[in-house]
Structure 1
Amino acid sequence: MYEALVEEFLVSVYETAGAYLRFNDDLRHLSSNDCSIILRSAADNVCCMSGAFIMQHSHLYGLNSFLKAMNAKYGKHTVDIHIWARRFIDPDIVLVKLSISLFAFSENTCCYYSETSKDLTNPIDIAKIQNKYAKLTWRYLLYKYGHHDAVKRFLNITLWLAAMNILAVHARTLIVHVHDIDSIIEQTEITLMLDDVDQIIETNQ
């Protein structure tokens, strides 16, 4: 029974990540080539970060039965990375949301799947998106915590992003995770394609 609850939790993480990507305006404004490159990386990043935060926020790391179920599904090494990386998770929910948006568009060429093109058509577009979220994050930190604590928390964010990158790279070796990511990507691509068709129809009416 507990395994079923854990499975339900994991499904909700992937579904929520997919919804975030399908309704993300930044993705919609990228070229089709750039979108396909960023989408796969973004799906991994958003799933890993959101899942890790929810597990920390809900105190799931302290439940042995939960960790046992995660071990059975993803392996001990995956859980060990999660437990190690949790130290960098900020309790500020707003800051975490901004961090997820920032990391979603952090393209890292060493993390791409081999069958995916690595050449962005317009990397400036990606840089602009990253810069937008970096500025928002920094302004929020200054407003909420002041300069001294803002610097400390921003540094901690970079450590969390690095830790999540390690988790995301490892996750790409897990068949069950890759299958779920492929499903998110397929659904997102279909949604974006249908939206483009609707826009063309509206324009031609």
Structure 2
Amino acid sequence: FPTLNLLQSDQSTLTVEQWNHLSNLSHCYDEHSGISSAVHYMEEQNNLPIKFRFKCEPLKKFISGLMDRAQLLYKNNQDFLSLIDDDRSILLHNTIKHVRGLSSHFIYRQIQLINNPVCFQSLELIFGQKTIATAKRVDDLINFDAIIMKLLLAILAFSTTDYTVYSNINQNNLKNIKKVLHFQHVYIDLAWRYLLYKYNHRQAVICFSNVLRCLLMLHNTIVLAYEVQQYTDVINPLFNRPNKYFI
């Protein structure tokens, strides 16, 4: 996956500091998201005889490992690390489901996982037809620029929205909400400025609308997936160690 040279821009409203911020964010994702191991996994599977490809248990292990690595996107974000421990813990718990889901779907699209018919059948066996059909729609909606995707993950990581997947864990209030909101503004501003650099105003609005549609569909997928026992079997162990990368 070629890395976009973000610093070669003379026709944008982004400052050099903002381009550097984007570049660091992009490299962080490329290094820590697990995309390289996902490419390797697909190569391994495609080299096997068809009847041995994408067996359910190894596939579940691959998906679990990919989702687990999403925490590294938090750990290696210096803005996130600048928050106090309690606020990091609250944000991680509240946003990890959607960051994991979106990052994983982006990688699925890159490696054409869901579009592989053999893999698709195994995914249906694991998560159910309804969940995978919705997941396929998310996959189809992730058709925007990779840098926008990486910015979106950062925006989600600082999100204070209370999503409608409930847990039995008491919710705590952020202690330094102003700092969290500051980083929200930083990344949303970066995203909009990058959109205007990449597209004209009309195209930027369309892309932003598509991003929102993708997020809504992702949330629908997560809600459906939580109704499937095998999905919770994959996810629950990850939630039992939500801060392992911060120890």
Counterparts of 1:188 and 1:172, CA distance in 2: 24
Match of 1:85 among 122, 133, 138: 138
Structure 2 runs not aligned, ≥5 long: 1-51
Q: CA deviation at 1:91?
A: 3.8
CA pair 179-91 structure 1, distance change in 2 beyond 3 A:
same
- State whether residues 21 and 43 of structure 1, in contact with CA within 8 Å, keep that contact through their aligned partners in structure 2: no
Alignment partner of 1:128 is 2:176: no
Matched residue, 2:128: 75
Match of 1:52 among 80, 102, 105: 105
Q: CA deviation at 1:9?
A: 3.5
Matched residue, 2:78: 25
Match of 1:145 among 176, 193, 199: 199
* RMSD of aligned Cα (Å): 2.3
Counterparts of 1:41 and 1:168, CA distance in 2: 13
Deviations 1:17-52 (A, max 9, x none): 122122222332223322222102332122100111
Structure 2 counterpart SS, 1:60: coil
138-147 vs 10-19, greater mean Cα deviation? 10-19
- Structure 2 letter corresponding to 1:149: Q
CA pair 12-115 structure 1, distance change in 2 beyond 3 A:
closer
Counterparts of 1:146 and 1:42, CA distance in 2: 31
Q: CA deviation at 1:5?
A: 5.3
Identical positions, percent: 24
Counterparts of 1:118 and 1:77, CA distance in 2: 33
Q: CA deviation at 1:141?
A: 0.7
Q: Which has the higher contact order (CA 8 A, sep 6+)?
A: 1
Alignment partner of 1:165 is 2:219: yes
- State whether residues 141 and 210 of structure 2, in contact with CA within 8 Å, keep that contact through their aligned partners in structure 1: yes
TM-score (norm 1): 0.80
Matched residue, 1:202: none
TM-score (norm 2): 0.68
